[in-house]
């Protein structure tokens, strides 16, 4: 059996707020550790039948980037769901929701900026 590892280092400020997120993976084609501004990691606990999550973002993660990040995660989850379940209609529903979410997010951003 082959082993693969993902390593995540979180650098915190004095108030324990993430300043940097750095990750690496044994099966990655990247030679060096990678920086990220945000991460969402989920595990399924079969015994409790619940999802366990770690959601972190660094101080320099901008609000507009967060909208992009969530839109891309929602689209990616719809693709993963389709591959795992073959439920095309539900996957399409998730994609439609992601698109509406992103449109509303962009409209809210424009309103905040006075456009």
Do 94 and 100 contact (CB within 8 A), yes or no? no
Long-range contacts of 75-80 (CB under 8 A, 24+ apart): none
Tokens of 4: 């693969």
| Same-domain status, 52 and 32 | yes
| Same-domain status, 49 and 75 | no
Q: Distance between CA 40 and CA 54 in Å, rounded?
A: 6
Q: Can you give the pTM of this predicted structure?
A: 0.88
Per-residue pLDDT in tens (0 to 9) along the chain, 115 residues: 999 999 999 999 999 999 999 999 998 887 889 999 999 999 999 999 999 999 999 999 999 999 999 999 999 999 999 999 999 999 999 999 999 999 999 999 999 988 6
| Same-domain status, 51 and 68 | no
How many domains is the chain partitioned into structurally? 2
Q: Where are the alpha helices (DSSP H) in 1-115?
A: 63-85, 88-112
């Amino acid at each position: 059996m082959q082993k693969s590892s993902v390593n995540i280092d979180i650098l915190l400020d004095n108030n324990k707020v993430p300043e940097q997120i750095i990750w690496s993976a044994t099966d990655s084609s990247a030679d060096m550790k990678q920086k990220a501004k945000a991460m969402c990691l989920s595990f399924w606990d079969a015994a409790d039948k619940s999802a366990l999550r770690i959601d972190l973002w660094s101080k320099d993660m901008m609000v507009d980037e967060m909208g992009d990040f969530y839109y891309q995660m929602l689209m990616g989850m719809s693709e993963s769901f389709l591959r795992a379940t073959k439920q095309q209609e539900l996957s399409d529903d998730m994609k439609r929701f992601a698109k509406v979410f992103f449109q509303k997010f962009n409209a809210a951003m424009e309103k905040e900026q006075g456009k």
